[in-house]
A and B are shown apart, each in its own frame.
Chain A
Amino acid sequence: MSLLSVENLVVRHGLLQAVRGVSFTIERGETLALVGANGAGKTTLLRAIAGAHQPAAGRVLLDGADLTSVPSHRRVGMGVALVPEGRRLFVQMTVEENLLLGRTAGRPGDWSVDKVLDMFPNLKPRRHAKTGHLSGGEQQATAIGRALMSNPELLLLDEVSLGLSPLIVDRVYAALQGLIASGTTIILVEQDLNRALAVSGRVICMLEGRVALEGASKEVSRDEVTKAYFGLHRKSTGSVPA
């Protein structure tokens, strides 16, 4: 059975339909990249999977169990963790406190504060610093660590490289490679197409709330994704009269 399946999901922000009937599944251990232009609905989709948005229609199933009406804090206990866009740390609290908060749901597993600090050694000297005083890279590491502390089965990463220098992004992705190798299932939103294709097994390109392209990351070409990204594929699929 698929770890996660999303069925005809529709999410609205007031009158705006941000996600329009998206369906996909992800198997255990898979890494799925979500790409698409700004406003394509990637963040909304991730937040709906994490339970921060209630869908207007459709279902989200985790291991076959219907999550649709489950609030976000209970989804964490069921193994879904989101690293939100913009990191959203508790800036009045220290790195350690942020990490410990990740353990609130109490899922058994082997993630601990020390293990997170081993994974991100740059956090070690900042353990008792308030996260509002950290650099962007340190904040991102804390946000990923906080999600890992809940021992998730499914990790949702929303634009983890946003606003970071290329060097720091390399470091964050090196850490993610370790997670992927250890078999954690990951859905990641990434603006950098090369990076998204390199790190993922499968890629979904979203356009205006719909899935425009889905395929194995090795098989799709950069060109195909770019076309889907900008909506150019629609002309080529239909017969275009000269």
Chain B
Amino acid sequence: MSNQIIQGILLGGYYALIACGLSFMFSVMRIINLAHGSLAVLAAYALWLLASRFHVSPFVGLLIVLPLMAAIGWALQRFLLERSARGGALLPILTTFGLAIVIDNLLFEQFGADTRSLAPYIGSLSYDSWEWPGSIYVGKLAVVMFATAIVLLGGLQLFLTHTRLGRSIRATSEDPDTAGLVGVDARRANAIAAAIAMVTVGLAGAFLGMRATFDPYAGAPQLLFAFEAAVIGGAGSLWGTLIGGIVLALAQTLGAQVHPQGFLIGGHAVFLVVLFVRLSASGLGPRGLLRLGKTS
């Protein structure tokens, strides 16, 4: 049992990593990015291309792909999200949904239906493990992912609370109009926030490719897990995202223990329970939530 719990917690690190960008974008820019999973897969393909064609290790490849993802995030905000956000809260969701379809199919056109993986390019890291007391074996990659998640979420938290740029980004998310009146360039703050979110998406894509396989349509399940982890953790809170990832992974691991097909069901069940508990605790039924959506 303790083995399942430890493996679940480590898997939670991965979910927190893929949820990080989604949660950050929602909390800071009030945008639900449905292209989140597809963009992670895009980053994975970029790393795979570098590794298979040019023999660049995925870890070195990140030095190229992460700045590229930042540029994509910046352009996405400036040319797509900023414009669509003017049309109301719903339009960015539709826009990113469309973007996900475009990315998926472009990847399919370019790379075909074959499943790929970055595992062959990272040596023994993909299968090596450490033996912990009680003959529990933990994958080295899983530990690396968990540590990355903590460093990334903690780093973002420190950045938002302790730097001038971080404060500007938070001020913009709270009230862009007033942010302008105190001297914050709201457009720049949002573009930088989008760039940061995409860097975390690039990292998520790298680990997606290293721990498993991916194909052009692998984005949707990733988005689902990210979304569930973000919601369980309380959308918008960075440390909550880590907790959310761990809870989701534990539920899946324990679900699989109960029944061979309980892996996904366990995760979905916890997600729904958390959602309804939170709704009733805040005194809102589904009706109230709809009203809330209209006013904010």
Using a CB–CB distance below 8 Å, which chain A residues touch chain B? 50-52, 71-74, 76-77, 81-82, 84, 88, 90-93, 97, 100-106, 146-147, 150
Contacts and interface: CB of A to CB of B under 8 A. Distances in A.
Contact of B180 (A72, A90, A146): A72
A92 B170 contact: yes
Contacts of A74: 185
Given A100-B164, A104-B164, A73 B186 contact: yes
A103 B125 CA distance: 47
A103 to B, nearest CB: 8
A147 to B, nearest CB: 8
B23 to A, nearest CB: 16
B174 A101 contact: no
B182 A146 contact: yes
Contacts, number: 71
- Interface size on B, as a range, is 10 to 19
Interface of B: 164, 167-168, 170-171, 174-175, 177-186
Nearest to A102: B182
Contacts of A52: 177, 180-181
Given A93-B170, A97-B167, A100-B167, A105 B177 contact: no
Contact of B171 (A50, A77, A84, A90): A90
B175 A88 contact: yes
Contacts of A150: 182-183
Contact of B167 (A50, A93, A105, A147): A93
Contacts of B184: 73, 101, 104
Contacts of B171: 90, 93, 101
Contact of A76 (B170, B175, B181): B181
Given A73-B183, A101-B184, A104-B164, A84 B174 contact: no
A77 B170 CA distance: 20
Nearest to A146: B182
Contact of A90 (B164, B178, B183, B185): B178
